[in-house]
A and B are shown apart, each in its own frame.
Chain A
Amino acid sequence: MKFLLSLAWKNLSRYRRRTTITAVALAVGVAVFIWMDGWLLGAELESRRNIIWYEAGAAKVLNREYLEQIQSLPLKQVVEDPAGVERALAGLGLEATRRAVFSGELFLGEGSLFVKAVALDPATDGRVFRLEETVRQGRFLQAGEAETLLGEWLARDLGAAVGDWVTVRARSRFGAFQTLDLQIVGILNCPNPIINQGTIFLPLDLADQALELEGAVSEIALAFPEWQEPEARLGEIRRALAGFPGLAVADWQELARDFLAIAEGKRAGTGMLLLLIFIIAAVGISNTMLMAVYERVREIGMMRALGMRDLSIRLAFLLEAGGIGLIGSALGLVLGAALNWYMVRWGLDLSAFIGDMQVGYRVHSVFRSAWNPQALVGAVVFGVLASMLISFIPSSRALRKRITDCLRHV
């Protein structure tokens, strides 16, 4: 076996050009596959992230009645003891943040609009939500200040700018009318259109005072890494909150049923792309592999003439092919991972190409990828296996010929 391995290795370095060419072809194929898969996954996750990162978190702890009437945002139905809930959930390894949600009328100058108002805790909101990243002008909120953040489309509709003062008219937890004067300190552009269009944010402590919350909140939003499959976690959370009978736990899917991206169907459509990449890559390497082996029929004949057993020859070629596959896949893996890392970390901002924003609202134009370990492993495995498989055919054919025919082959 050692002999075969060293033979394979020697051959690889002997036919450097061929090795390089095939390996490069494979590398590009693997890299593009990884990159594309990451992008598609990112796109699929995008619509879900829109919900998780900006609206729902992975799950929420809410008053049972609130959940039933959630469309009307009843501030009356609160989580009375958020500290107690948080204590009960400590040790489960979750991130949590408190929010109070209510509806109100927003006044600026002569205009007014009905909005959804979210009061958040600037210190802990970032543990569950990524709102802060979406601030485009001005800054994020600071606790204790009479300030607010507006979605970009909302600001545009109202003609509002950072520094303007707005007034929100709403009703307190107990139904009394209240007005809040807030200064706009930031404008955000978030991939979630609902937020961009009709939501304002303000500090929780301010809302607590103004709306007579007395420490209660509308929801405690939770984040945990297994958000894609939340059932197990939910069971855990529910058990931990057994002492709070009036509360319910809802995961993001339940909370965001209405907001299903129109592009959900896109996902299946783009799966076809992966298939095509697969085909092209397979074609690429099989081509060169086939050619390479066919060119070495004479060599095979010589080896046979020298007494090497068929099985050994086959194995030798298999190992060689596997070697090429490994080199190519490894290269491709590094390249693909690098590309993917860039896309995950920074994303691709195509806004320059999307161009003229005067036509309408600015659409989210940064495309982000996601990590898919299965794809990474799968691509490498595929690369190696495919290379080995493909070399099988021509080497088999050569082995079936008569030795003299092999030697005569040109």
Chain B
Amino acid sequence: MIRPALAAALLLAAAAAFTQSAEEIVRRLEANQRFRTQEAEGTLIITDRFGSRTKTFLSYAEGQERMLLAFTNVEEKGQKILRLKDEIYLYFPEAEEVVRLQGAALKESVMGSDFSYEDLTGEKSLLDLYEVHLAGRELLAGREQFLLELKARTRGVAYPAQKLWVDVEEYLPRRAEYYALSGRLLKTLEVLEVRRVGGRSVMSRAIMRDAMKKNSSTEFRMQRVKLDEPLPKNIFSLEALSW
């Protein structure tokens, strides 16, 4: 026989989980992806009608505003992308100057992938851009997910509507769908693997697909992830680009 107090506590807990609002889910989701610092080795596999290409890189990130990607695969070895707040800089070993991307150039895709430079910038929370609504729960690959529906609050949001599947246990996205104003599905993001690093969960394998093209996708994998560990000094500076 369950003691009434315990039963009440369990009920309350269950109720709390149920009544958790969409906003809270998003807040937890974003909190989970915030690290003081992050360092990783990564791989991008870009696929289009001409085939697949693999790029490898080292990535460093500090907070939400600074990021450095340094490519290590043969073809792009030594190239770097530096993000400082809303600005993007490109470094090429064979160029004698650092290239600053602005305006329309930010809309271009990175390395022909399904991500644009613009996707790399921006620190706004989803809550600032979208109204969120909890539509229910679904099972994805055997795991239970919150299904969130997002509608842009203002004009100018690149993806006016999104659907987000958030794992109820880990509070990490498992799947995302991005929609155009017309309601047409543009892209899908699938998280294929989640890893535990230092007590936290990180997405270690994900694939972004262009839903309008037959064979267009970008898979990205992170290996050797280190969280909240000190990074090399001054790594997020223009000077450091040429090291």
Least Cβ distance of A371 to chain B in Å?
43
Residue of A nearest to B186 (CB): A177
Chain B positions 166-203 with a Cβ under 8 Å from a chain A Cβ: 178, 180-182, 184, 186
A167 to B180: give the CA distance in the assembly, Å: 12
Lowest 5 A-B CB distances belong to which pairs? A174-B156, A72-B104, A174-B155, A179-B184, A178-B181
Instruction: Tell me the complex Cα distance, A179–B159, Å.
Output: 12
Question: Given A112-B213, A169-B212, A212-B181, do A177 and B104 touch, yes or no (CB 8 Å)?
Answer: no
**Interface residue B101 (Cβ < 8 Å from any Cβ of A):** no
CB neighbours of B4 from chain A (8 A): none
State whether the Cβ of A210 lies closer than 8 Å to any Cβ in chain B. yes
- A169 touching B186, Cβ below 8 Å: yes
Assign chain A's interface to a size class.
20 to 34
Q: Which positions 144-163 of chain B face chain A at CB distance < 8 Å? A: 152, 155-160
Decide: B156 and A176 in contact? CB cutoff 8 A: yes
Question: Among the listed B104, B152, B181, B214, which residue makes an inter-chain contact with A210, where contact means beta carbons less than 8 Å apart?
Answer: B181
Least CB distance from A165 to B in Å reads 13
* Contact for B152 among A69, A107, A169, A176, CB less than 8 A: A176
Q: Which of B185-243 contact A (CB under 8 A)?
A: 186, 212-214
**B27 nearest CB across to chain A (Å):** 24
The answer to whether the Cβ of A74 comes within 8 Å of any Cβ in the partner chain is yes
5 further A-B contacts with Cβ under 8 Å, apart from A172-B155, A176-B155, A177-B178, are A74-B103, A169-B186, A171-B158, A179-B182, A212-B155
A141 CB, min distance to chain B CBs, angstroms: 20
Let me know if A226 is at the binding interface, CB within 8 A. no
- Across the interface, which residues of A come within 8 angstroms of B182, CB to CB? 178-181, 210
Residue A159 interfacial (CB < 8 Å): no
Residues of B with C-beta under 8 A to A176: 152, 155-160, 180-181
Q: Which residues of A contact B103 (CB under 8 A)?
A: 69, 72, 74
What residues of chain A lie closer than 8 Å to B107, measured between beta carbons? Answer: 171
Instruction: Let me know if B180 and A175 touch, CB within 8 A.
Output: no
Which one of A72, A107, A175 contacts B158 once the chains associate, using CB atoms below 8 Å? A175
Pairwise interchain contact A167-B152, C-beta atoms closer than 8 A:
no
Query: In the complex the two chains form, is B156's CB within 8 Å of A177's CB?
Result: no
16 intermolecular pairs with C-beta atoms under 8 Å apart: A74-B103, A112-B213, A167-B212, A171-B107, A175-B156, A175-B157, A176-B152, A176-B155, A176-B158, A176-B160, A177-B160, A178-B180, A179-B184, A179-B212, A180-B182, A210-B181
B186 CB contacts on chain A under 8 angstroms: 169, 177, 179
B212 near A69 with CB under 8 A, answer no
Q: How far is A179 from B213 in the complex, measured between Cα atoms in Å?
A: 13
Nearest CB on B from A175, distance (A): 5
A175 to B159, CA, bound (A): 9
Residues from chain A with a CB closer than 8 A to the CB of B156 are: 174-176
Flag whether A110 is at the interface (Cβ < 8 A).
Answer: yes
**Interchain nearest-CB distance for B1 vs A (Å):** 58
Query: Would B212 and A177 count as touching, CB distance under 8 A?
Result: no
Residues from chain B with a CB closer than 8 A to the CB of A180 are 182
Contacts A112-B213, A169-B186, A212-B155: A179 and B180 contacting too (C-beta < 8 A)?
yes
Residues 180-224 of chain A: 1 if any B CB is under 8 Å from the residue's CB, otherwise 0? Answer: 110000000000000000000000000000101000000000000
* Residue-wise interface mask of A (159-171) relative to B, using a CB-CB cutoff of 8 A (1 in contact, 0 not): 0000000010101
In the complex the two chains form, what is the Cα distance from A175 to B182 in whole Å? 14
Q: How many residues of B contact A (CB 8 A)?
A: 19
Q: How far is the CB of B48 from chain A (nearest CB, A)?
A: 10
Closest CB-CB distance, A76 to chain B, in whole Å? 9
In the complex, what's the smallest C-beta–C-beta distance from B217 to chain A, in angstroms? Answer: 15
CB distance from B106 to the nearest CB of A (A): 11
Q: How many A-B residue pairs have CB under 8 A?
A: 56
CA distance A307 to B38 in the complex (A): 119
State in angstroms the CA–CA spacing of A405 and B16 once bound together. Answer: 134
Q: Which residues of chain B are near A175, meaning CB under 8 Å?
A: 156-158
Contact B155 A74 (CB under 8 A): no
Question: How far apart are the CA atoms of A181 and B103 in the complex, in Å?
Answer: 28
Interface positions of A from 54 to 79, Cβ below 8 Å from B:
69, 72, 74
Could you tell me if A110 and B214 are in contact, using CB atoms closer than 8 angstroms? yes
Closest Cβ of chain B to A119, distance in Å, is 15
Contacting residues, chain B, for A110 (C-beta < 8 A): 214
A359 to chain B, nearest CB (A): 27
Tell me the minimal C-beta distance from A249 to chain B in angstroms.
Answer: 23
Chain B residue with Cβ nearest A105: B212
Given the complex of chains A and B, what is the CA–CA distance between A199 and B69 in angstroms?
Answer: 37
Smallest beta-carbon distance B211→chain A, Å: 10
Indicate if the CB atoms of A172 and B181 lie closer than 8 Å.
yes
Question: Residue on A with the closest CB to B49?
Answer: A110
* Nearest CB on A from B177, distance (A): 13
Q: Establish whether residues A177 and B158, one from each chain, have CB atoms under 8 Å apart when the complex forms.
A: yes
- B110-154: which have CB < 8 Å to A? 152
- Within the complex, the shortest CB–CB distance from B91 to chain A, in Å, comes to 23
Asked whether, in the complex, the Cβ of A107 is within 8 Å of the Cβ of B212, the reply is: yes
Residue of B nearest to A112 (CB): B213
CA distance A212 to B181 in the complex (A): 10
Q: How far is the CA of A110 from the CA of B103 in the complex (A)?
A: 30
With both chains docked as a complex, state the minimum distance between the C-beta of B83 and any C-beta of chain A, in angstroms. 19
Are A177 and B155 interface neighbours, CB within 8 A?
A: no
- By a CB distance below 8 angstroms, the chain B residues around A178 are 180-182
How distant is the Cα of A74 from the Cα of B186 in the complex, in angstroms? 21
Q: Which of B160, B181, B182, B212 has the most CB of A within 10 A?
A: B181
**B38-68 interface code vs A (CB 8 A; 1 in, 0 out):** 0000000000000000000000000000000
Residues A69 and B159 in contact in the complex (CB < 8 Å), given A167-B212, A178-B180, A180-B182: no
Shortest distance in angstroms between B129's beta carbon and chain A's nearest beta carbon?
A: 11
